[in-house]
Structure 1
Amino acid sequence: MEHDAQGFSRRGLMVAGAGTALAVTVVAGCSSSDGTTAADPGGSPNASPTTSTPKDGSLAQLADIPVGGAVSATGPDGKPVIVAQPTAGKVVAFSAICTHQGCTVAPQGSVIKCPCHGSTYDLATGDNTGGPAPSPLAAIPVTVRDGAVVEA
């Protein structure tokens, strides 16, 4: 086996180079130009709308929340919130912080899901329905005023 002046074999250098290329490819594959990541359920084409950013101080506009679905929002304190409309006209909100290890949960179809360890939560109640989460999401009292969902 041939070695260069520093004692590395050509085969060893090729293996190291291939490993580096693979690592770069994997890291690049975890994100996209629109800010979603492989663990971000918002990147799924079948997911519910996942972000609401009204400029009027509300959490979301009722018209932007699908019936039987939810959106992610930011509370007045800057913390992530889930706002759901389980049935037409009924609106509920929860902290978007997973009770397992503090990851940010997001709506995924008709459930709320943690991308870190797979915990799931009921859209209407915030109760944990699967995964390692030990307790439900914290409820946030909300009301609808002039079509906007605001903290009560």
Structure 2
Amino acid sequence: MTTSDETHAGPCRRTVVATLGAAGLAAALTACGGSDDKDSAEPAGEQAGDGGDAAGSVLARTSDIPVGGGKIFKDEGVVVTQPTKGDFKAFSNKCTHKQCPVSSVEDGTINCPCHGSRFALADGSVQGGPAPKPLPSAGITVSGGSIKLA
């Protein structure tokens, strides 16, 4: 009888562990989903000076984007640049050569690490490398020191 109980103990233990693992994963996803949908979106807008405007979430403050440089927003898939003071532009963060995400904005260009393509801050035009065409522009609005995706 002891042998029979030991035989059932293995599969039962695995079933319990698998069930608990799935329940834990579901709980974690629910907790993360709730946080992203409500709590984190509103404070981010408020922190950026959005004032809770429902028209869209603030991507960045204008002061976050250096003149003659830019900032990459990986999750949103865009690069925002400020070629000259007060002039903000946005482009896709995917290189037009092999769709690698660009990795830096340095020395006056948006740079792709995969094959060395470089793009202009002002218009996304190809400045070097194998990229066949400019970075596609992305829509943004700039208002009251806030930059939002259009």
TM-score by length of 2: 0.60
- Once the two structures are superposed, residues 85-135 of structure 1 have per-residue CA deviations (whole angstroms, 9 ceiling, x without a partner) of 111111000000000001111312311010010000001100111100011
Q: How many pairs were matched up?
A: 96
Distance in 1 of aligned mates of 2:90 and 2:142: 12
1:90 and 2:99 equivalent?
Answer: no
| Native 8 Å contact 1:59 1:83 kept in 2 | no
Distance 1:58 1:109, change over 3 A: farther
Distance in 2 of aligned mates of 1:79 and 1:149: 13
SS at structure 2 position matched to 1:63: helix
Instruction: Specify the alignment match of 1:55 in structure 2.
Output: 44
Task: Give the alignment partner of residue 120 of structure 2, picking from 115, 119, 122.
Answer: 122
The within-5 A match list for 1:17-56 is 55-56=44-45
- Once the two structures are superposed, residues 33-65 of structure 1 have per-residue CA deviations (whole angstroms, 9 ceiling, x without a partner) of xxxxxxxxxxxxxxxxxxxxx922222110011
How far the C-alpha of 1:82 sits from its partner, in A, is 0.4
Distance 1:111 1:61, change over 3 A: same
Bigger drift between 83-92 and 100-109 goes to 100-109
The alignment yields a C-alpha RMSD, in angstroms, of 1.6
Instruction: Specify the alignment match of 2:111 in structure 1.
Output: 113
| Native 8 Å contact 1:60 1:83 kept in 2 | no
The answer to which structure has the higher helix fraction is 2
The residue type equivalent to 1:84 in the other structure is T
Give identity over the alignment, percent.
46
Task: Give the alignment partner of residue 100 of structure 1, picking from 85, 97, 114.
Answer: 97
Instruction: Specify the alignment match of 1:17 in structure 2.
Output: none
Instruction: Specify the alignment match of 2:129 in structure 1.
Output: 131
Distance in 1 of aligned mates of 2:59 and 2:84: 18
SS at structure 2 position matched to 1:82: strand
